[in-house]
A and B are shown apart, each in its own frame.
Chain A
Amino acid sequence: MIQVTARIEPSKLMTFASPLLAIFLTLIFGSILFSLLDKDPLQAMHLLLIAPLSDAYNFSEMLVKMGPLLLCAVGLSLCYRANLWNIGAEGQLLIGALGGSAMALQFVDSEAWFALPLTLIAGILSGMLWAAIPTFLKLKFNSNLILTTIMFNYIALYLLLWGVHGPLRDPDGFGFPESAIFSDATILPLLNEDGRAHIGIIFAILLAIFAAFVLAKSHLGFQIKVFGADEPAARYAGFNQTKLTWAVMLFAGALAGLAGVSEVAGPIGQLVPGISPGYGYSAIIVAYLGRLHPLGALLSATFMAVLYMGGDLAQIEMGIPIAVVGMFQGVLLFFLLACDFFIHYRLTFPSNSQYQN
């Protein structure tokens, strides 16, 4: 008989092994699914996981998808560590794109050197504002952060649609719901002429390292960890919950806003209705898969970006609907949550117990 026994201490090994195990199980699940659909599972897996890294162009496209995922996931990791259930990265990203675009469109005919910094700052501030409202409502009126941030995602989406159909629409655009194309002065410089990867990805990686440093070395990081682990203890220690909530939420909002503005001032180059294929939601999974650590998020954002990129390739080459990416993400999180069970429990095989009795 197999028995489940509680571990005395959480297993360090399982904490790190669990994401890998979850990815492995998801791939098995995917292979079975593709076989059932009469698609060659080996070819599908190759397209999903290996092809995105196989040449310079694909690699650059993968980086383009990694940037926003990483930025959002780093912010969410800190939020979740502090027990703040911020689901609003998607909305903060969209509003960042909207605010950044509103600024960038002031510089359509300009070459000014300060156009790009102003655009980025506008995006970051817009994202922070969008995170600030639910934070304020939580602190002041005790409203449920999960539900308000979700509602703000929907509101953000409609605000973006309103902007792109209304005040920010290109007057010379034949009525298409698109803004004017941004001036080169407001576009993030490319890393390499061959692809669309831009300097924003470097910012994202630097910010992840910065967040890891804050978490590991600063007093603020220590407070985040204590609040997450044991709220009464943190209160007893006299930590200021209000201040901490503001700091973490605004940081997450800033990062998501930066992710949004980097999309419009980066690979897209104008404001369009479809800014994000759900980066803000996928970032929740990226954060979990990265063990709520900024450096872990670096690894898991890369994996998720490969999956996104692979989803595009699998659609083009094998006619597999792009929605398969979203489904895989859900399955992955299920497997991860299931594997995490073994951080606190282990299986034992008490076969020789009859002799001991």
Chain B
Amino acid sequence: MDIDFITQILFAAIKTGTPLLFIALGEVICEKSGVLNLGQEGMMLMGAVVGFLAAYTTGSAGLGIFGAIFMGMIMSLIFAFLVLHLGANQVATGLALTIFGTGLSAFVGADVVGQTVQGFQPIIIPLLSDIPLLGKILFTHDLLVYVSFAMAGSVAYVANRTRTGLVLKAVGENPHAANAIGIKVLRVRYCAIMFGGAMAGLSGAYMSLVYTPMWIENMSSGRGWIALALVVFASWRIGNIMLGAYLFGLASIMHLVLQGMGWSISPNLLAMLPYVATVLVMVIISADKFKEKLLAPRSLGKPFDPRQMA
């Protein structure tokens, strides 16, 4: 293994981890407000197909990105209305969103399967990319990877250092107390869910416009679910999410690495790696019951009904 090979692997791990980072950043905000949205996979697929269709018809990848974000938000609004207003079970509604998104995306994308679009060109950042090793790994990506760096930084800042972050935390930890001091719990949750939807849409667009610039049915292949595990793995901390996303990115390209090293294992067995890694990580993280209870938002998954307050 020479140094160039390692650089290439780490570069690819970041590229592969980026859609996971986007979607996990959205989900962590959603979960911090106390809402568990299992519809990530569906929102991501809808983002991917709408982003692709928009870019394909207009020829503009930028419009594709906006279309995907918008679509992700629309999808999350359906979820938000059902769980926040109609008090529907969050697990069942999230599953419905995933099933719906998977079906609808295959339906609207049926005509463009296999077409390609002009994706984003890499932007090599001057000076920074000249740093030995790290420069190549971090600063020779496309625009969206830099956007993901910026998003991770700003989400961490907002969640940990601002009043908005405190409000979010209050709603997720104890919605009744938050309501009592005049915070509009449902409004905060609406915003958090929609942010999650926007990020899932963006993540989908990254898949269909950058990562493999084409639309294939079910192309997210479980990334929405892996992102949910990633949030638990990261103990709801944004720094850990970034690290975790790249580790999972690395696990997803492990088959290329092993092939590069001359191993011959069935590609189908190697394709299991990210999922097996997810299970292992879940087992290690959750084994400590006390720790998980301490770190998870306390009202996660529990509905809040202002009607029952009076």
Mark A residues whose CB is within 8 Å of B: 4, 6, 85, 87, 137, 141-144, 146-148, 150-152, 154-155, 158-159, 161-162, 165-166, 281-282, 284-285, 288, 321, 323-331, 333-334, 337-338, 340-341, 344
The reply on B225 being an interface residue by CB < 8 A is yes
Cβ contact within 8 Å between A340 and B88 = yes
Which residue in chain B gives the minimum CB-CB distance to A341? B86
Which residues from A are CB-within-8-Å of B272?
154-155, 158-159
By secondary structure, the A interface counts as helix
> What are 30 sample pairs from A and B whose C-beta atoms fall under 8 A apart?
A85-B91, A137-B279, A137-B283, A141-B286, A143-B283, A144-B232, A144-B286, A150-B222, A151-B222, A151-B278, A159-B272, A284-B99, A285-B99, A323-B104, A324-B103, A326-B99, A326-B106, A327-B100, A327-B107, A328-B103, A330-B42, A333-B96, A334-B82, A334-B100, A337-B93, A337-B96, A338-B88, A340-B86, A341-B87, A344-B87
Cβ contact within 8 Å between A281 and B275 = no
Cβ contact within 8 Å between A338 and B286 = no
Which residue in chain A gives the minimum CB-CB distance to B284? A141
Chain B 8-40, CB-CB to A under 8 Å as 1, else 0, gives 000000000000000000000000000000100
Given A144-B286, A333-B100, A334-B78, verify A155-B275 contact (CB < 8 Å).
yes
CB distance from A138 to the nearest CB of B (A): 9
Which residues from B are CB-within-8-Å of A344?
87
Cβ contact within 8 Å between A321 and B107 = yes
| Residues of chain B from 117 to 160 with CB closer than 8 A to chain A in the complex | none
CB distance from B302 to the nearest CB of A (A): 14
Which residue in chain A gives the minimum CB-CB distance to B277? A151
Cβ contact within 8 Å between A154 and B103 = no
Tell me the complex Cα distance, A112–B97, Å: 48
Cβ contact within 8 Å between A166 and B266 = yes
Other than the given A166-B266, A321-B107, 10 more pairs (CB < 8 A) read A137-B283, A154-B275, A155-B272, A158-B271, A323-B107, A323-B110, A325-B103, A329-B103, A330-B96, A330-B103
The reply on B172 being an interface residue by CB < 8 A is no
Tell me the complex Cα distance, A143–B287, Å: 7
Cβ contact within 8 Å between B225 and A150 = yes
Cβ contact within 8 Å between B106 and A154 = no
Given A321-B107, A323-B110, A330-B104, verify A142-B268 contact (CB < 8 Å).
no
Tell me the complex Cα distance, A175–B110, Å: 29
Cβ contact within 8 Å between B99 and A329 = yes
Tell me the complex Cα distance, A155–B271, Å: 8
CB distance from B26 to the nearest CB of A (A): 17
CB distance from B103 to the nearest CB of A (A): 3
Cβ contact within 8 Å between B95 and A87 = yes
Which residues from A are CB-within-8-Å of B106?
321, 323, 326-327
Tell me the complex Cα distance, A159–B276, Å: 12
Which residue in chain A gives the minimum CB-CB distance to B271? A158
Which residues from A are CB-within-8-Å of B38?
146
Given A285-B99, A321-B107, A338-B82, verify A147-B88 contact (CB < 8 Å).
no
Cβ contact within 8 Å between A147 and B225 = yes
| Residues of chain B from 207 to 265 with CB closer than 8 A to chain A in the complex | 217, 221-222, 225-226, 228-229, 232
Which residues from B are CB-within-8-Å of A85?
91
Cβ contact within 8 Å between B268 and A161 = yes
Tell me the complex Cα distance, A142–B100, Å: 30
The reply on B58 being an interface residue by CB < 8 A is no
CB distance from B129 to the nearest CB of A (A): 36
Which residue in chain A gives the minimum CB-CB distance to B94? A146
Question: Which of A151, A162, A326, A330 lies in contact with B275, CB distance below 8 A?
Answer: A151
Which residue in chain A gives the minimum CB-CB distance to B104? A327
Which residues from B are CB-within-8-Å of A4?
307
Most chain B CB inside 10 Å of its own CB: which residue of A4, A146, A154: A154
Which residues from B are CB-within-8-Å of A329?
99-100, 103
Cβ contact within 8 Å between B228 and A147 = yes
The reply on B164 being an interface residue by CB < 8 A is no
Given A159-B272, A323-B106, A341-B86, verify A146-B92 contact (CB < 8 Å).
no
Tell me the complex Cα distance, A344–B307, Å: 12
The reply on B115 being an interface residue by CB < 8 A is no
Which residues from A are CB-within-8-Å of B283?
137, 141, 143
Which residues from B are CB-within-8-Å of A141?
283, 286-287
| Residues of chain B from 257 to 310 with CB closer than 8 A to chain A in the complex | 266, 268-269, 271-272, 275-276, 278-279, 282-283, 286-287, 289, 292, 307-308
Which residues from B are CB-within-8-Å of A341?
86-88
Which residue in chain A gives the minimum CB-CB distance to B88? A337
Tell me the complex Cα distance, A288–B42, Å: 19
CB distance from A228 to the nearest CB of B (A): 12
Which residues from A are CB-within-8-Å of B217?
323
Cβ contact within 8 Å between B103 and A144 = no
Which residues from A are CB-within-8-Å of B286?
141-144
Cβ contact within 8 Å between B268 and A330 = no
Question: Which of B282, B289, B308 lies in contact with A148, CB distance below 8 A?
Answer: B282
Which residues from B are CB-within-8-Å of A151?
222, 225-226, 229, 275-276, 278-279, 282
Which residues from A are CB-within-8-Å of B292?
142
Question: Which of A150, A282, A338 lies in contact with B86, CB distance below 8 A?
Answer: A338
Which residues from A are CB-within-8-Å of B287?
141-143
Tell me the complex Cα distance, A342–B285, Å: 39
Cβ contact within 8 Å between B99 and A333 = yes
Question: Which of B110, B266, B275, B279 lies in contact with A165, CB distance below 8 A?
Answer: B266
Which residue in chain A gives the minimum CB-CB distance to B229? A147
